[in-house]
């Protein structure tokens, strides 16, 4: 049980951006709860990689299964985290899914819409509620220099329309507002809330459209002219947790190589 090392709960940490965040946090000296929905083997790989990169002997890395889109699983995740590691100092809401099939909004299904919003928006919104209530009612002392912190990982899709995956865009736009709502509600209790907004990232989620994005990047859609990486997001998460932004709650941190810049 961790009693001197801050514990960070990272959802969807078995792969992609979540794994990149977990690895960077391990290098930064944190203990990490590696949440996964179904791929236990991938989650264990993240645990093993974190162990190889840790910088303090008493860091802990624990894989915990929970479907963030399910109420009972969210409760189980919080309870098990506290039982096994004794504390939660920060929550990184990273878990999310892409549509199972991209479809024009004229033909997209309600089933896809409901699934995407349940996992990408409803899940992190109410997981944050549970963690915030734990902090506010139990009043533990944070081991983070930054104090208790929540990070929402959204996407450039929060404000960039893609008509062949409207459900995903709406889920990320809603998550961006959730970040602002929680930042407003928790600021008075010295709990920091941030939004990380990744751009075109090289993960398994974008593997099926790699050629399309390769062409867009070659044509200049990303000023820095490269794909983003999970490590890029990990660097940002670590900077937020180490207290480098003490007066910036509610901020949106773009991790998109300049994609968000309005250009002529």
DSSP, residue by residue, 176-210: HHHHHHHHHHHGGGT-EEEEEEE-SB-STTTGGGH
Element (H, E) at 92: strand 90-93
* Per-residue model confidence as pLDDT tens digits over 199-258: 999 998 888 889 999 999 999 999 999 999 999 999 999 999 999 999 999 999 999 999
CA 34 to chain centroid: 11
| Residue 1 banded pLDDT, cuts 50, 70, 90 | low
264 belongs to a structural domain: no
User: Greatest CA separation found in the chain?
Assistant: 55
Is beta strand 90-93 parallel, antiparallel or unpaired with respect to 61-65? unpaired
262 belongs to a structural domain: no
Instruction: State the pLDDT at residue 44.
Output: 98
1 belongs to a structural domain: no
192 belongs to a structural domain: yes
61 belongs to a structural domain: yes
Mean pLDDT of 138-154: 97
Instruction: State the pLDDT at residue 2.
Output: 56
* Per-residue model confidence as pLDDT tens digits over 32-51: 999 999 999 999 999 999 99
261 belongs to a structural domain: no
| Residue 152 banded pLDDT, cuts 50, 70, 90 | very high
Give the DSSP letter of residue 227. -
Which two three-digit tokens encode residue 53? 């990169």
The residue range of the domain holding 165 is 7-255
Instruction: State the pLDDT at residue 208.
Output: 85
In degrees, rounded to 5, the angle at the alpha carbon of residue 50 between the alpha carbons of residues 146 and 17 is 70
Instruction: State the pLDDT at residue 13.
Output: 98
241 belongs to a structural domain: yes
- Using a pLDDT cut of 70, give the percent of the chain over it: 99
* Per-residue model confidence as pLDDT tens digits over 56-99: 999 999 999 999 999 999 999 999 999 999 999 999 999 999 99
Which pTM was predicted? 0.97
How many domains are there within the chain?
A: 1
Give the DSSP letter of residue 142. P
CATH number of the domain where residue 229 is located: 3.40.50.720
* Per-residue model confidence as pLDDT tens digits over 163-174: 999 999 999 999
2 belongs to a structural domain: no
């Amino acid at each position: 049980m961790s009693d001197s090392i801050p514990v960070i709960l990272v959802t969807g940490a078995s792969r992609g951006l979540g794994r990149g965040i977990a690895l960077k946090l391990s290098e930064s000296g944190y203990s990490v709860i590696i949440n996964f929905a179904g791929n236990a083997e991938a989650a264990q790989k993240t645990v093993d990689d974190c162990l190889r990169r840790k910088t303090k002997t008493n860091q802990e890395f624990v894989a915990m299964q929970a479907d963030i889109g399910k109420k009972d699983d969210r409760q189980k995740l919080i309870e098990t985290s506290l039982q096994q590691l004794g504390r939660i100092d920060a929550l990184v809401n990273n878990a999310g899914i892409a549509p199972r099939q991209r479809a024009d909004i004229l033909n997209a299904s309600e089933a896809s819409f409901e699934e995407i919003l349940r996992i990408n928006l409803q899940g992190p919104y109410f997981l944050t509620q549970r963690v915030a209530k734990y902090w506010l009612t139990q009043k533990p002392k944070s081991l983070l220099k930054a104090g208790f912190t929540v990070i929402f990982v959204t996407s450039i899709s929060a404000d960039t329309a893609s008509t062949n995956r409207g459900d995903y865009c709406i889920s990320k736009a809603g998550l961006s507002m959730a970040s602002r709502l929680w930042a407003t509600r928790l600021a008075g209790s010295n709990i920091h809330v941030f939004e990380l907004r990744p751009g075109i990232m090289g993960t398994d989620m974008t593997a099926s459209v790699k050629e399309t994005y390769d062409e867009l990047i070659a044509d200049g859609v990303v000023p820095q002219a490269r794909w983003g990486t999970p490590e890029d997001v990990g660097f940002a998460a670590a900077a937020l947790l180490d207290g480098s932004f003490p007066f910036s709650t509610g901020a949106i941190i773009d991790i998109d190589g300049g994609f968000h810049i309005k250009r002529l």
